[in-house]
Amino acid sequence: MSYFIHQSKRLAYLLRHSPLPDTQGWIQVSDLIARHGFTTEMLKDIVYKDESGRYEFSSDKSAVRTKYGHTNHVYIEMPAVVPPRHLYHGTSDKAVGKILSEGITRMNRHYVHLSGTVAKAIKVGERHGTPVVLTIDAEAMYRDGHKFHNPATGVWLTNHIDACYITIEPTTDIANKEAAADEPQ
């Protein structure tokens, strides 16, 4: 694992899972430098180069936080937004049976995490084993009163997904549908 990835994961742990952040998720940059071995340049690299856009600096750049993914005492207020018609959840083949009977729960996080694309959901699923992509009928959920948040590009959050909103199809079929939707009419 590269040094950059290691430091990014370490920062994510401190911000998402440790007791260090304040209730809004902020840790002072000066504390990260003095107590945890980060440098200003390293923090800028992590925040600005993160593909998921999960990190942000405070307006005066004196503190940093993650926008989502917390299991600690942090609760960040996010506006509700209208989701796209479908969202995707990457998981492992071992979890599919339970999900199709019980739905998707947030487990130890504040929200269920969804992806805006099949490709991203596949990457998430690969972290847990043989990937399976579940299609979520986000439009129906929204119509039924469920709230969605979109704190970063391609990342969607909601509280719980009942099994009735979930379908499973071969990943290649989903990818083909997604590609067709992206083609100009």
Tokens of 100: 């199709």
What is d(CA 148, CA 141) in angstroms, rounded to the nearest whole number? 9
Residue with token string 């999900």: 99
C-alpha neighbours within 13 Å on the C-beta side of residue 120: 16
For the stretch 91-125, pLDDT in tens is 998 999 999 999 999 888 889 999 999 999 998 88
Domains along the sequence of the chain with CATH: 3-66 (1.10.10.970), 86-182 (3.20.170.30)
3-state secondary structure of 67: coil
* Contacts (Cβ under 8 Å, ≥6 apart) of 104: 89, 112, 134, 160, 161, 166
CB 107 within 8 A of CB 89: no
Please give the model's pTM, rounded to 2 decimal places: 0.79
For the stretch 131-168, pLDDT in tens is 999 999 999 999 999 999 998 888 999 999 999 999 99
